[in-house]
A and B are shown apart, each in its own frame.
Chain A
Amino acid sequence: MNIFVLMKRTFDTEEKIVIQNGKVNEEGAEFIINPYDEYAIEEAIQVRDQHGGEVTVVTIGNEDAEKELRTALAMGADKAVLINIEDDVEHRDQYTTAKVLAEYLKDKEADLILAGNVAIDGGSGQVGPRVAELLGIPYVTTITKLEIDGTNVKVVRDVEGDEEVIETSLPLLVTAQQGLNEPRYPSLPGIMKAKKKPLEELELDDLDLEEDDVEAKTKTIEIFLPPKKEAGKILQGDIADQVKELVSLLHTEAKVI
């Protein structure tokens, strides 16, 4: 089976966010594989181990993303592809990302494509379904279970806490939700092996795309931090009195009850 994983390197949101010159300052910050993409990588490896084939992890980014790609290879992926469009495309959004990924994937005859359902930095949750649409294949988002039998696929999907059981077929794109699996940590032998696994680097030219083909459809005009919250009121006194005061404050001051 020919399996692809769409991965994003993300800013670890446990980091403190500092805005400098209208941008989030990334200097010195910790970067990670987007947590939802880790589920996708793990599932891809499990599907390959069960059905055979090859797992290729693809990311769009600059050379810094090599670190996260190597981590995916150390987990057990077979190949990695880094599409570096940083120098070629000034204005990028999810339209850009999906278009570039679909252009890369269109002649790869992928049976199964996996991605995270959302990235924890931008939080747009668009790229998976967009890529499926551009490739003309079906998709199922926020999956928590995947069973493949020949070309038939049964998927369980999380729908705001309820579960949908879905039948579909390969080729297919799915996006991973928490609960799909427990991503493994790279083993030491895995890390050693990963160093020798192929990591291909591509640019826009290699995909027969021009900057105009992938130019963003949206633009960020401002980034700002939420207003600092004033310190809350810690109530004092007897618990019963505190409860009375709280209810009264919610009623008269906060006016939410």
Chain B
Amino acid sequence: MARKVLTLAEVRDGALRNVSFEAISAAKTIAEGGEVVAVVVGASVRSLAPELIAYGADRVIVVEHEKLATYTPDGYAQALQAVVEQEKPEGIVFGHTALGKDLSPKLAAKWQSGLVSDVVAVEATGGNIVFTRPIYSGKAFEKKIVTDGLMFVTVRPNNIAPLEKDESRTGAVVDVQVDIKDLRTIVRDIVRKTAEGVDLSEAKVIVAGGRGVKSAEGFEPLKELANVLGGAVGASRGACDAGYCDYSLQIGQTGKVVTPDLYIACGISGAIQHLAGMSNSKVIVAINKDPEANIFKVADYGIVGDLFEVVPLLIEEFKKIKVHA
């Protein structure tokens, strides 16, 4: 059954986030041959439209307004309301990001609809669209269907493969005009605390440190390893509590949930709190002095040893591979 499905593209530092392409891929499955329309919202975002088409959007709707330069729930809801009223889609896919998590429940409530959030897989099973999502902090999974109303969905970054980028795809780019008014929350300031570069929730490789890193300086080799691999640095709660790094790096039940292709845990014991945030990573490497550490139970590969000895050696070896590649 063909359906028209919208996706909300997400922009960060002037570029589209990867999850925007993953949302298009999920929307294609949900649409079952129907039209997938990517919506991009902001002050000046029109130039991003061709990339959305290259990643599989059949059409792009651009909503530009100076009051949409910064995300607010009221501003974005007004923009999307105009688009939904015009397009009458059967589903809308967001990234399960700070923005998607904040906005999607508001819209689902407005349309008296269900919302399946934090989706890691989508299948069309002939009739139903079945969504898989983690529950109990990833210790179990549930399969859900939408039984009534519009299908609102948020997809967890890094889980649904985007379509192959194809610059030869074509599609219309159209503007929708909106009047944005009465914003009840105003963003006065944005304080950047995260490091430049790779976004933790979208990183393909994460190098994470725990108490075993021992100090803020101890994170330096981890940062270098992350750099060599084009990845991001994360931390356990223990390392954050000890003041070795900012809480913005925390991975776990409180903190971020990540699913990179490669997770390298350095000096992390593997408390349940931490495992809840990373155990669904595709490949886990553990480096720890304590052979009994819990982290080895979820690791695919383990090295029992001192991270300050192992990590520099790893940096050298990965550099060699990079030279060959």
Flag if B109 contacts A166 (CB, 8 Å). no
Annotate B277-293 by CB proximity to A: 1 below 8 A, 0 otherwise. 00010111110000100
Flag if A133 contacts B318 (CB, 8 Å). no
Flag if B305 contacts A221 (CB, 8 Å). no
Q: Is the interface of B mostly helix, strand, loop or mixed?
A: mixed
- By a CB distance below 8 angstroms, the chain A residues around B317 are 243-244, 246-247
Flag if A220 contacts B144 (CB, 8 Å). yes
Flag if B105 contacts A223 (CB, 8 Å). no
A43 to chain B: closest CB distance in Å?
16
Using a CB-CB cutoff of 8 Å, which residues 229-257 of chain A contact chain B?
229, 232-235, 239-240, 242-244, 246-247, 249-251, 254, 256-257
B168: CB under 8 A from chain A?
Answer: no
Using CB atoms, name the residue of chain B closest to A94.
Answer: B115
Flag if A224 contacts B115 (CB, 8 Å). no
Using CB atoms, name the residue of chain B closest to A236.
Answer: B304
Using a CB-CB cutoff of 8 Å, which residues 253-268 of chain B contact chain A?
253-256, 261-262
Kindly identify which residue among A128, A169, A243 contacts B314, using a CB–CB cutoff of 8 Å: A243
Q: How far is the CA of A91 from the CA of B149 in the complex (A)?
A: 15
Flag if B105 contacts A94 (CB, 8 Å). yes
Chain A interface size range: 35 or more
Using CB atoms, name the residue of chain B closest to A169.
Answer: B184
- By a CB distance below 8 angstroms, the chain A residues around B280 are 226
Flag if A126 contacts B117 (CB, 8 Å). yes
- By a CB distance below 8 angstroms, the chain A residues around B118 are 123-125
Using a CB-CB cutoff of 8 Å, which residues 189-242 of chain B contact chain A?
189-194, 199-201, 205, 229
A182 to chain B: closest CB distance in Å?
12
Kindly identify which residue among A120, A167, A234 contacts B185, using a CB–CB cutoff of 8 Å: A167
B143: CB under 8 A from chain A?
Answer: yes
Q: A165-B191, A232-B296, A257-B229 are in contact. Are A24 and B140 (CB under 8 A)?
A: yes
B263 to chain A: closest CB distance in Å?
10
Flag if A132 contacts B136 (CB, 8 Å). no
Which of A10-18, A48-56, A71-79, A189-197 lies at the interface? A10-18
